[in-house]
Amino acid sequence: MKKSLLSTFTAIAILALPLSALASPIGVNGKLGTEWNGIAPVSISANASAPVGNFGTPGTQNAAAYNIYTRDDGSYFYVLVTTTDAAAPVFANLYLDTIASTSGTGSNLGFEVNNDRAFIPGVSGYFTPSSSDFSFATANDSGTIGITAAISNNFFLTDPLGMGFATTPDGTLVSLHLSQSFGYSVVGGGGNYPAPTELGAATVSSNTPVPEPATIEYMAISGLGLLSFGGRRLLERIRRA
């Protein structure tokens, strides 16, 4: 009887956890996820003569065609790049404008997504963000290859690593400025996608905080403790009856 009650309470506590704490930025089981439905992509066309190189003048075409999607759920800013070119190298380097509401500011923060590190464009050296501030995932969904980066809004708002980029004013815009994905051509830039709407700018706000993993764990443990206490009280009443 005790084990049955405890199992029931444990199941209830797990189900009560926020679904966002269990979500993956790319979906589940290697799928791209319904969270991207209805978001119009920016399409980058393929062109064998597109400029190749880590840096250089940004173009509008890449050696491999791909789509770029962006969204923000109030806690994280997500970038998804997808291609159906099976021969394309699977990597993404993203250059962001953290003060996109200010016209003409350009890229001031970058991520080598698959290397799990951040940098300041044009400055040597790299930074390693915490797993709560940055994560990425890859998927191959029926021949569509996807790479998703998830960057916490807090990262833009506070610069927790002291990198030195201009932090995003609360409630204003951050946007993807340049992309170097599935190939070494750099595409985008203020000339092609002016701030603050370049590549689908999203609103960043610190007004919807998400519990840290430790807090979520504490909530779960506390919930289990309360439920277990309630179970013991119920058992005592059953015995007295």
Is residue 15 predicted with pLDDT exceeding 50? no
- Which positions ≥6 away from 169 have C-beta within 8 Å? 99, 101
Q: Name the CATH architecture for the domain at 25-210.
A: Sandwich (2.60)
b (16+ CB within 10 A) / e for 190-211? beebebbebbbbbebeeeeebe
Q: Where are the domains of the chain?
A: 1-18+212-241, 25-210
Q: Which of 12-26, 159-173, 182-196 has the lowest mean pLDDT?
A: 12-26
Is residue 20 predicted with pLDDT exceeding 70? no
Strands 42-46 and 66-72 turn out to be: antiparallel
Q: What is the pLDDT of residues 143-187, one digit of tens each?
A: 999 999 999 989 999 999 999 999 988 877 788 889 999 999 998
Give residue 213's pLDDT. Answer: 39
Read off the pLDDT band of 240 (50, 70, 90).
Answer: low
For the record, the structure tokens of 178 come out as 């340049």
Sign of the four-CA dihedral 40, 95, 117, 19 = negative
pTM of the model: 0.73
Is residue 66 predicted with pLDDT exceeding 60? yes
Q: Which of 61-65, 163-167, 201-205 has the lowest mean pLDDT?
A: 201-205
